Amino acid sequence: MRNPNQPSAAGARKYIVIEGPVGAGKTTLARKLALELNGRELLEDPGSNPFLPGFYQEPARYALAAQLFFLLQRVDQVRALSEGDLLNRVTVADFMLDKDPLFAAINLDAPELALYEGVYGHVRPHAPVPDLVIYLQASPATLLERVRKRRVDYERGLALDYLTRLSSAYARFFHDYSAAPLLIVNSDNLNFVDRDADFELLLQRIRGLKGPREYFSLG
């Protein structure tokens, strides 16, 4: 835990979002950062999505249902955020509603995508803009290795090709992202779970952020 006499890693940032493809480590990092900053977690709950196991086995059949379930879940979570909450306490999330269409675009066929976009347009709330977005990158091979290590049954169907397409979609999304300060972290050689030194290095980089877009990588 942080020494209360040390400066906060977040500074004046009250709403921090961790993003990245499956296996990048965003949920782990969000939890550690929330604990470090005495903040609250705002985390996705993929285990509650009843269509997700089917999606990994039969993507064409279950993609739309899985996507709409996640969309409504994320909308409810974002709507629960109030300005008072964000002013009074740090919130660290492992998702950003703006990237929801990214998954839809790579998983849905044209009629399904049109339906999704219509629903998204109707239910999307006015979401607060993050004070900082941390985008975790990793090679598809690294992502696949991490997914396999956590041994979640329904993720066994994840293929390297899917993770490659997903990583490319994330890269395109964040290439043009400018709504909030962005720290792009190459996590191939960073282990926030097992190496406290790596986490401390990231905290130092967050404390020192000055520009709207910065990069952090080891090796």
For residue 107, give the nearest of 158, 147, 175 by alpha carbon: 158
Calpha distance 140→26 (Å, rounded): 15
Strands of the 91-93 sheet, one edge to the other? 40-42, 91-93, 15-19, 132-137, 182-186, 213-216
Phi, psi of 207 (to 5 degrees): -60, -35
Per-residue pLDDT, 13: 84
Place of tokens 């190459």: 186
Rounded CA Rg of the chain? 17
CB neighbours of 25 closer than 8 A, spacing ≥ 6? 136, 138, 146, 187, 192, 193
pTM higher than 0.85, yes or no? yes
- From first to last of its 219 residues, what are the pLDDT tens digits of the chain? 444 334 445 557 889 999 999 999 999 999 999 999 999 999 999 999 999 999 988 999 999 999 999 999 999 998 888 666 777 789 999 999 999 999 999 999 999 999 999 999 999 988 889 999 999 999 999 999 999 988 888 888 788 999 999 999 999 999 999 999 999 999 998 888 778 899 999 999 999 998 899 999 886
Structural domains of the chain ordered from first start: 15-216 (3.40.50.300)
